Amino acid sequence: MTRITVHYFAGRIVGFTAKGHSDYAEQGSDIVCAAISALTQTAYLGITELVGAEVDFSVSDGALRLKLLPSVGGEKREKAELILGTMLLGLRSVEENYSDHLKIVKREVKA
């Protein structure tokens, strides 16, 4: 199962960690994994390429992590949060349909 922890600070989304494999199907045929990858990677690209916001981003040990840097503020932060919120809507839709393969949890973090 893939577990996505969505990180919030002061009630506002600031990042996420996606870990694990959905185990819906074998590699190359797993539509749940493909959907998760597409949504999370598109969020990363939108935030960094379109918005121009700086993030702490890593892919290691089977986990993809993204966190907005505290220095991102104003309009860039608002746009980045909008992209993260849109990503979350898509992930929740996947979770609704494939709840045995994706779990989303909310976590309040410190700055």
Domain CATH number, residue 61:
3.30.70.1490
CA distance 77 to 18: 21
User: pLDDT of 19-67, one tens digit each?
Assistant: 999 999 998 899 999 999 999 999 999 999 999 999 999 999 889 999 9
Q: How many domains is the chain partitioned into structurally?
A: 1
pLDDT value at 111 more than 80: no
Q: Which domain holds residue 36?
A: 2-108
The pTM of the full predicted model, rounded to 2 decimals, is: 0.94
Q: What is the pLDDT of residue 72?
A: 95
Q: Residues with Cβ < 8 Å from 100, sequence gap 6 or more?
A: 1
Element (H or E) spanning 83, and its range?
helix 74-97
